[in-house]
Amino acid sequence: MAKGDPLLEVTDLVKHFPIRSGIVIDREVARVRAVDGVSLTLHEGETIGLVGESGCGKSTLCRAILQLTRPTSGSIKFEGRELVGSSRRDLRTARRDMQMIFQDPFASLNPRKRVGQIVGDPLELHGLARGPELKRRVQELLDRVGLSAEHYNRFPHEFSGGQRQRIGIARAIALRPKLIVAD
């Protein structure tokens, strides 16, 4: 990516959800137009905010940008690489530099995992830390978001909504991504 090139370029992004009907013959009877022709450009160091009514497609747009849901059509380029239609392998590489802070801290954290594992999984998955180094890095991340090392072995249900949101932030910043999408 050359200096001055966009970090993220979204062009004419569309995401429609089909409404299906029928017991024997499953057919599409209508579509919900969640995102319809959105274009935006984001350069390194920039921050943008999307404002709109509840249900207008902001979360769907976020999820489509990160390829957590496949768009119906359009283009999403991250550092000049097209994401729409990319393989899982290619997306894995891109996702290291793109992270999301989910809107609902209650639904976005696995209740069966301890906080240390939730925050440490991305570091381990991408081979950035293991063993004692992993624990140290996770504790450092918890400290950065205002939680203490004593929270490392706790489960998500032991935290308030605000604390859970901070766990999600720690997980999102763990890989030092170039793009953070906060829903």
129: CATH: 3.40.50.300
Residues 76, 160: one domain?
A: no
Whole-structure pTM value: 0.87
In this structure, what are the phi and psi dihedrals at residue 17, rounded to the nearest 5 degrees? -110, 125
The token pair that represents 21 in the structure block: 């009907």
For residue 153 the two structure tokens come to 């072995």
Same domain (yes/no): 149, 78: no
Residue 2: pLDDT band by 50, 70, 90 thresholds?
Answer: low
Count how many domains the chain has. 2
Instruction: Say yes or no: 41 and 119 in one domain.
Output: no
50 lies in the same domain as 97: no
Residue 89: pLDDT over 80:
yes
Question: Of the candidates 44, 71, 86, which is a domain's last residue?
Answer: 86
Q: Distance of CA 25 to CAs 19, 31, 83, 154, Å?
A: 13, 17, 34, 48
Shared-domain flag, residues 119 and 164: yes
Claim to verify: residue 69 and residue 128 sit in the same structural domain: no
What's the token pair of residue 30?
Answer: 């209508």
Question: Which is nearest to 93 in space by CA: 117, 67, 61, 119?
Answer: 67
Tell me 47's DSSP state.
-
Q: Are 60 and 86 in contact (CB under 8 A)?
A: no
Does 25 share its domain with 98?
no
Q: Dump pLDDT digits (tens) for 57-87.
A: 999 999 999 999 999 999 999 999 999 999 9
Q: Give yes or no: residues 133 and 61 share one domain.
A: no
Q: Are residues 162 and 104 in the same domain?
A: yes
Q: pLDDT by residue (tens digit) across 125-172?
A: 989 999 999 999 999 999 999 999 999 999 999 999 999 999 999 999
Picking from 86, 114, 134, the residue at the C-terminal end of a domain is 86
* In the chain, % of residues over pLDDT 70: 99
SS3 44: coil
Which residue segment(s) compose the domain that 144 sits in?
Answer: 87-182
Bigger pLDDT: 2 or 3? 3
pLDDT at 133: 95
Boundary residue ending a domain (70, 86, 102): 86
Q: What is the 3-state secondary structure (H, E, C) of 59-111?
A: HHHHHHHCCCCCCCEEEEEECCEECCCCCHHHHHHHHCCEEEECCCCCCCCCC
Burial class (CB in 10 A: 0-12, 13-18, 19+), 107: exposed
- pLDDT at residue 1 greater than cutoff 70: no
Task: Over range 37-56, report the average pLDDT.
Answer: 93
The answer on 101 and 68 residing in a single domain is no
Which pLDDT score is estimated for 105?
Answer: 82
Same domain membership, residue 4 and residue 75: yes
Within 8 A by CB and 6+ apart from 69, the residues are 15, 60, 63
Average pLDDT over residues 45-68: 93
